[in-house]
């Protein structure tokens, strides 16, 4: 979102580490997830600034919460060009204290698609595997509209740096592919072999959303089900969450702790993470050994049928060996996976 600054908060040690600056609910909203015991309340103050360097807010509003959930701030302008600071204070008539999950989620309604960034990287960067006629763009509006919701434990949230996205379009294809790559610090590793999902700056796992170019409907979603092994779902509308459009558009995935691959969990309540431009950091990732096969990144339509994101030049994959052992003995996160595509 253009002009949105990172929110900060002070609340007895609670700190906002990520923010999502978008919603179509009509008013700015702060979501508090966690437990607020009886007799306890939280005063959630949001200060609104017109510039990142401003020291005096142009608006400020405090909402008192006695239960978790969404708090509406109708006293703020909620402009996509403003910056926000969040402060939490609580009171209690006993010894109980609230337990609030971080990062907090503060959402500002967008003004229009023009408030989002659009950058065409097709001719400004070199692409070795992009199909002729295809375009690769940072279309923040569309990526935001279909952004997956994620379920994470506290340790994963603290390590998660966001989803880095781009959109691939082509007149020769019936779908546009909205590509989301995670960046997560740390993570477990296979003992040896094709541990190529990460780079020197973090682990990276993809979710590719295939959207019909004409209707805008989601046709399929292909995601990293284990160490860049592909899993697929063709979600019915009732599996999707309606949040940023007139129809449901958001799938929900759980990030597996430690290993950071995904499981499709439409029954869970997920949250948005920060959305960033992948083309803007592409060269940094590549120089730090970003490992997927180039063709599966620049030509994402391959994942409509490919079994994984790796360059498969040999007769077998060492990952497949560890996967089999892991599923049998409960090793290497392989006991916590969805059904994967077969070669």
Sign of CA dihedral 75, 81, 82, 83: positive
> Is residue 96 domain-shared with residue 122, that is, in the same domain?
no
Among 12-26, 103-117, 189-203, 307-321, the range scoring the smallest mean pLDDT is 12-26
In the predicted structure, residue 4 carries a pLDDT above the cut 90: no
Q: Binning pLDDT at 50, 70 and 90, where does residue 111 land? A: low
In-domain check, residue 95: yes
Structure tokens at 240: 């999707």
Q: Could you tell me if 74 and 50 lie in one domain? A: yes
**Could you report the per-residue pLDDT of 250-270, keeping only the tens digit for each?**
999 999 998 899 999 999 989
pLDDT at 334 over 90: no
Single residue among 107, 136, 157 that ends a domain in this structure:
107
- 339: in domain: no
Residues 317 and 265 in one domain: yes
Reported confidence tier of residue 271, pLDDT bands at 50, 70, 90: confident
Q: Which of 107, 129, 146 is the last residue of a domain?
A: 107
Question: How much is the pLDDT for 5?
Answer: 34
Give the percent of the chain with pLDDT over 70.
Answer: 78
Please provide residue 179's backbone torsions phi and psi, each rounded to the nearest 5 degrees.
-105, 125
CA dist 342 and 324 (Å) reads 13
**Predicted local distance difference test score (pLDDT) of residue 233:** 97
151 and 82 assigned to the same domain: no
Task: Say which CATH number the domain at 21 has.
Answer: 2.60.40
Residues 17-38 pLDDT 10s: 234 444 556 788 888 888 999 8
- pTM, two decimals, is 0.70
Tokens 């089999």 correspond to 324
* pLDDT at residue number 15: 35
> Are 86 and 230 in a shared domain?
no
Q: Answer yes or no: do 101 and 185 share one domain.
A: no
Segments forming the whole domain that contains residue 69: 9-107
Which residues does residue 23 pair with via DSSP β-bridges, in sequence order?
none
Same domain, 128 and 191: yes
Q: What is the pLDDT of residue 2?
A: 24
Token look-up 């009886």 returns 38
Q: Residues 13-17: contacts with CB within 8 Å, 24+ apart? A: 14/88, 14/100, 14/102, 14/104, 15/102, 15/103, 16/86, 16/102, 16/103, 16/104, 16/106, 17/102, 17/103, 17/157, 17/158
pLDDT tens, position by position, 157-177: 989 999 999 999 999 999 999
For 279: left if phi > 0, alpha if psi spans -120 to 50, otherwise beta; the answer is alpha
What whole-number distance in Å separates Cα of residue 62 and Cα of residue 316? 59
* pLDDT confidence of residue 81: 65
Q: Which of 95-109, 128-142, 196-210, 297-311 has the highest mean pLDDT?
A: 128-142
Indicate the pLDDT class of residue 333, thresholds 50, 70 and 90: low
Q: How many CB atoms lie within 10 A of CB 22?
A: 23
Inside any domain, residue 113: no
Whole-number mean pLDDT of the chain?
A: 82
pLDDT digits 0-9 by tens, 178-216: 999 999 986 544 444 444 444 446 789 999 999 999 999
């Amino acid at each position: 979102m253009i002009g949105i600054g990172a929110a900060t908060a002070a609340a007895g040690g609670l700190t906002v580490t990520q923010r999502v600056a978008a919603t179509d609910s009509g008013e700015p909203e702060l979501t508090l997830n966690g437990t607020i015991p009886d007799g306890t309340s939280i005063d959630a103050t949001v200060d609104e600034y017109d510039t990142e360097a401003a020291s005096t807010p142009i608006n400020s509003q405090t909402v008192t919460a006695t239960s978790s959930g969404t708090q509406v701030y109708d006293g703020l302008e909620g402009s996509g060009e403003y910056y926000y600071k969040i402060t939490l204070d609580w009171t209690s008539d006993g010894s109980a204290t609230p337990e609030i999950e971080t990062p907090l989620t503060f959402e500002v309604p967008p003004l229009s698609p023009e408030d989002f960034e659009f950058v065409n990287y097709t001719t400004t960067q070199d692409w070795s595997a992009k199909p002729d006629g295809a375009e690769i763009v940072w279309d923040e509006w569309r990526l935001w509209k279909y952004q997956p919701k994620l379920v994470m434990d506290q340790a994963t949230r603290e390590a998660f740096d966001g989803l880095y996205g781009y959109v691939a379009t082509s007149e020769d294809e019936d779908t546009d592919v909205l590509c989301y790559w995670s960046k997560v610090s740390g993570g477990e590793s296979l003992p040896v072999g094709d541990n190529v999902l990460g780079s020197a700056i973090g682990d990276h796992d993809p979710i590719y959303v295939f959207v019909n170019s004409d209707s805008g409907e989601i046709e399929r979603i292909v995601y990293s089900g284990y160490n860049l092994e592909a899993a697929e779902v063709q979600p019915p509308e009732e599996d999707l969450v309606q949040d940023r459009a007139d129809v449901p558009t958001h799938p929900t995935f759980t990030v597996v702790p430690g290993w950071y691959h995904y499981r499709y969990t439409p029954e869970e309540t997920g949250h948005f993470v920060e959305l960033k431009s992948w083309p803007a950091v592409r060269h940094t990732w590549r120089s730090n050994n970003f490992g997927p096969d180039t063709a599966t990144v620049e030509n994402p339509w391959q994942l409509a049928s490919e079994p994984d994101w790796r360059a498969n030049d040999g007769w077998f994959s060492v990952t497949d060996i560890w996967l089999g052992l892991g599923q049998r003995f409960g090793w290497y996160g392989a006991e916590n996976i969805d059904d994967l595509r077969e070669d």
